[in-house]
Amino acid sequence: MEQKHHAFSYLEYDSMEELSSSDRELLEFAKKAVDTAYSPYSHYKVGAAVRMGNGQIVTGSNQENMAFPSGLCAERVALFSAAAANPGIPVKAIAITARSLQFPVTNPVTPCGSCRQAIIEYEMLSREKIRIILMGETGKVLTIGGMEDLLPLSFKEEGLKKL
Ligand code: THU
């Protein structure tokens, strides 16, 4: 028996002004996308922006439904529309942010488990890490080098692709 350890490092910035221009631009797109959320049930508006390898930026926002599980998170709305519009092009980065109509969102917004799994699929597809940029409405910004860091030991079965 051997004990294994998993650790990862990420960067924490005091404000978005400290980011590189490319990360700041993507986060600004995500912040604008917040306004397009359809979230009459949670009143929590999430915006996501995806940068593709061809330079295209595609945004998305959470889309809720009165049959709750039928809604979709902002990250997957952005990611799936980016991939559908750019087949074969790698996803380079995703920025995620949110605003609530009920409380100030002061901590960085981190993606839910299903979105982590969806993002990691596109890393596997292109064999390239996807940079992750996270922020609340205000406060600190986190940048993470790839989704493997947020979803260690993720489900991966290349054999499923063999048919
Ligand atoms: N939501 C996202 O859009 N992304 C996440 O990563 C977590 C949650 C949405 C789903 C729902 O519309 C609202 O936020 C509250 O959970």
Report which of 3, 1, 34, 11 is spatially closest to residue 105, judged by C-alpha positions: 34
Span 97-140, pLDDT tens digits: 999 999 999 999 999 999 999 999 999 999 999 999 999 999 99
How far away, in angstroms, is 57 Cα from ligand 1 center? Answer: 21
Pocket test for ligand 1, best of 45, 73, 120 (most atoms within 8 A of CB): 73
Span 34-52, pLDDT tens digits: 999 999 999 999 999 999 9
Buried b (16+ CB within 10 A) or exposed e, 44-63: bbbbbbbbbeeeebbbbbbb
CATH class of the domain at 11-156? alpha beta
